[in-house]
Structure 1
Amino acid sequence: MEPIHRPGPLTEITNEEVIYQNPLLFLKIWEMMHETPQAGPPSDWGWHSHMQVEFLLVAQGQLGVQTKHDYTVMTPGDIMVFGSSQPHRTHTYAPGPLRQIVFQLDLKQHFDLSTMPYLHRFSELTHPLEAFNEVFRDNPAVKQEAYTLVMQIYEESQSRKIGYELAISAAIKNLLLLLLRNDHRDFSGVTEDSGISRVRPALDYIDKHLSERITVEDVCSVLNLSYHYFIKYFKKVMGISFVDYVNYKRIKKAERLLLTGDLSIMEVSYEVGILNMAQFYKLFKRHNQCSPKEFKQRMRSQVDVIPFLAQAD
C-alpha cells in the first residue's frame, strides 16, 4: 500500500450520517463485497465524510482510495484510517471481486476515566489521525496486527455471542494501544483532554461564530470564567492556545469553502472571519504549506488513473 501523491478534484462532499449498529458501542462495521468487470473511477465519483473515525480494510481485490493529500492503491491485507470529518472516496482499482471491511466509530466514547489521559494522543486538532497510515506502511507487523484486530471486531459483531460487547471493547482498546505504542511523533507540547467537557460550550460558540469577530471576553462570558484563568485553562485542556484554535478552525472552514464552492479567495477569507487578506494568506500557508490559490488548483486537478490501471494489468 503506497500513496501516490496526485490529489484530484474535491468539489462536492456528502456528509454521511452513521447509524450505529449498537448505540452503546458507538460503532458500525460491515462488509462490502462485489465483482465488476470494469475498473476505475465512476462518472459520479463522489466524496463523503462523517464525524466518526473510519478504518478501511481490503480482504480481496484492489481498491483505489483518495484523500485530501494522497491517492493510494490498497491490496489484500491493507488497512487505512480516516479521521473525523476527513473527506475521502474510493473506487474499484482492478476488475474482479472486491471485498472490504468498513469500521466506523466514535473514538472518544471508548475512553474512560482511567484512559482519558491518552485521549489527547488521538486529537485531530494537533495530530491528524491519517498520520497512523504511515505507521502501517512502515511497519508491516503493526499493519497486520491492526488488520487482525478490526477483523476480530467484525467477526464478533456478526456472531453476537454472549459477551461480544466485551470482546469488541477489548479489541478497540488493543487497537488504540497498538497505535499509541507505535506512534513516535513528538507530543511534548500536548496536554491531556480531561477538561474537554468544561470548555465544550466555548468550542460550540466558536463554531457558530467563525464568520464573526470572536474575542476572548465573549467566550469567557459563555463559561463565566476570568480572562487569565480561561486563557491558561483552555491551553491546558486543548493543547494549543485559544487564538491558535480559532485560527485552526477558520482555516479548516476555508479549506472546505475553497473545495466545495465558487467563492473567490477574498470572499472565503471574509466568510471565515479574517478580514485582512495578508493575515489569511499567512495563516493558510502555515497550515497547508501553500497559498489558497495553489491549494484550490491542486485539489481540483484531475487524478491520472489510467497509468495506475495499466500497471495493474
Structure 2
Amino acid sequence: MELFKEPIFYNDPLLRIQVLSFHSMIICQHGWHFHPQLEIIAVRSGRLEIHTPAEVYHLRAGDVLILGSCQPHLDLRKQNEVVDYVVLHFEMEAFLDSNMLPFLYLFQESLLPLVRLNTLFRENSELRQQFYSTVIELQQEHEQMQRGYEMAINYLVKKCLFLLLRHDNEGLLEHNRSMNYAKLKLVFDYVEAHLSDKITVEQACLLVSFSYTYFLKYFKQTLGITFTDYVIHRRIKYAERLLLTEDLSIAQIAEQVGLPNISHFYKLFKRVHHCSPKSFKDTIIARANETIHGMGRMITTE
C-alpha cells in the first residue's frame, strides 16, 4: 500500500481548520493518504466508501465519519454517481482552552484510535443526526463568512467533541481517573504567569513534585502534546493578542512573549499559522474593516 501525505492548507490564519465541500463523480480522489489533522466527513447526498486498513465504511446521505490523526484511508465513489459531501480537517490543539483541558486528552490517538468512535454513530441515530447538523452548520458558517463566523466555527468544533462525549454510552472515552487536574492546573497557571519569561521543565516538576522524566511522560500522555509544544502554543496565542491589541513592533512582541530571538519567533509563528505575524495581523485587520464598512452600509441603507 503506497501512502501519500496529503498537505492541508488553512485559508484563515486565525482558524486552523480546512473546510471543503465536494460535488464530485471522481471515483478516487487521492488514493491511500493520511494527514496529521483529524478529519470529519458528512455526506449530503449520494454514496461514499471510506476504506481504512481495518474496515470499510459505507456512507449515505446524513452519515458522518471520524478519522483520527495520521489514519491511512482511501475514499471511493460509485461509478457515474455524484456525491455531495463536506470534509473538515483540523488540529485539536488549535481549539485548546482552559475549559477543554480536562477533556482534551480523551481525544488523543495514544489512548483510543478515534476511528473507533464511529460505532457511536451506528448505534445512536440521535447522535448521528445532531453531529451531521453541526458539521453542515459549520460548513455554512465558513462559506458565508458573516460577522462573527470565527466564533461560530470555534463553538461548533467544540460542540462536535461535546456530542461525542455526552453520547458515549459505551465508555470509549472513559475518564482517566489517574489524571490529577489539580496538579496540572499549577503548571498551567505557572506557564500563563511567565509567558514573558523563561519557562523551565525543572520549575514545573517542582510545582507538582514529579521527577523530570515522569513529568514529561505524564504531561504528554495526559494532554496528547509535549510540554514544550504546550508552552509554544500559549506563547503564540499571547503573541496573537498583542499583534491585534497593542502598537508594538514584531521584535517587541517577540520579546514580550518570551521568544527574544526574532528568527525563532517567526519560525514558530509560521509553524502554527502558516503565515508571518505581519500577514496574520493584516488579514485580521482587513477583515475587521470589511465588517465595519459592511455594517455602515447596512445602517445607511436603513
| Alpha-carbon distance in structure 2 between the residues aligned to 1:74 and 1:16 | 22
Richer in helix (by share): 2
| Alpha-carbon distance in structure 2 between the residues aligned to 1:17 and 1:45 | 11
- Is contact 1:61-1:75 (8 Å) kept? yes
Q: In the TM superposition, what are the counterparts of 1:58-77 in structure 2 within 5 Å?
A: 58-77=43-62
| Alpha-carbon distance in structure 2 between the residues aligned to 1:96 and 1:54 | 23
TM-score for the superposition, normalised by structure 1: 0.58
| Alpha-carbon distance in structure 2 between the residues aligned to 1:14 and 1:151 | 27
Match of 2:176 in 1: 188
| Alpha-carbon distance in structure 1 between the residues aligned to 2:81 and 2:123 | 28
Match of 1:33 in 2: 23
| Alpha-carbon distance in structure 2 between the residues aligned to 1:175 and 1:45 | 26
Pairwise CA RMSD of aligned residues? 2.9
What is the letter of the counterpart of residue 135 of structure 1?
L
* CA distance 1:45–1:116, change in 2 (3 Å): closer
- Is contact 1:83-1:128 (8 Å) kept? yes
In the TM superposition, residue 139 of structure 1 has moved relative to its aligned partner by 0.6
Match of 1:54 among 22, 36, 39: 39
| Alpha-carbon distance in structure 1 between the residues aligned to 2:69 and 2:100 | 20
Match of 2:126 in 1: 141
Q: In the TM superposition, what are the counterparts of 1:233-312 in structure 2 within 5 Å?
A: 233-239=215-221
- Is contact 1:54-1:102 (8 Å) kept? yes
Structure 2 counterpart SS, 1:134: helix
| Alpha-carbon distance in structure 2 between the residues aligned to 1:130 and 1:148 | 20
Structure 2 counterpart SS, 1:30: strand
Match of 1:232 among 214, 221, 232: 214
In the TM superposition, residue 61 of structure 1 has moved relative to its aligned partner by 0.8
- Is contact 2:25-2:79 (8 Å) kept? no
What is the letter of the counterpart of residue 151 of structure 2?
L
Count of residues paired in the alignment: 202
Runs of 4+ in 1 over 6 A off after TM superposition: 193-196
| Structure 1: 5+ residue stretches without partners | 1-10, 199-221, 241-313
Deviation per residue, 1:35-88 (Å, 9 max, x gap): 36xx6xx6x972111111100111111111101210111111110011111111
What is the letter of the counterpart of residue 147 of structure 1?
Y
What is the letter of the counterpart of residue 24 of structure 1?
L
- Is contact 1:73-1:93 (8 Å) kept? no
Q: Equivalent pairs: percent with the same residue? A: 26
Match of 1:172 in 2: 157
Match of 2:100 in 1: 115
Match of 1:303 in 2: none
| Alpha-carbon distance in structure 1 between the residues aligned to 2:178 and 2:18 | 30
| Alpha-carbon distance in structure 2 between the residues aligned to 1:152 and 1:231 | 44
| Structure 2: 5+ residue stretches without partners | 191-199, 223-302
Structure 1 counterpart SS, 2:69: coil
Match of 1:23 in 2: 13
| Alpha-carbon distance in structure 2 between the residues aligned to 1:94 and 1:72 | 17
Match of 1:256 in 2: none
TM-score for the superposition, normalised by structure 2: 0.60
- Is contact 2:25-2:77 (8 Å) kept? no
What is the letter of the counterpart of residue 171 of structure 1?
L
Deviation per residue, 1:230-262 (Å, 9 max, x gap): 34323432348xxxxxxxxxxxxxxxxxxxxxx
What is the letter of the counterpart of residue 35 of structure 1?
M
In the TM superposition, residue 189 of structure 1 has moved relative to its aligned partner by 5.2
Match of 2:4 in 1: 14
Match of 1:103 in 2: 88
What is the letter of the counterpart of residue 94 of structure 2?
Q
Greater relative CO (CA pairs within 8 A, separation 6+): 1
| Alpha-carbon distance in structure 2 between the residues aligned to 1:89 and 1:23 | 28
| Alpha-carbon distance in structure 2 between the residues aligned to 1:114 and 1:45 | 37
Match of 2:111 among 111, 121, 126: 126
What is the letter of the counterpart of residue 187 of structure 1?
H
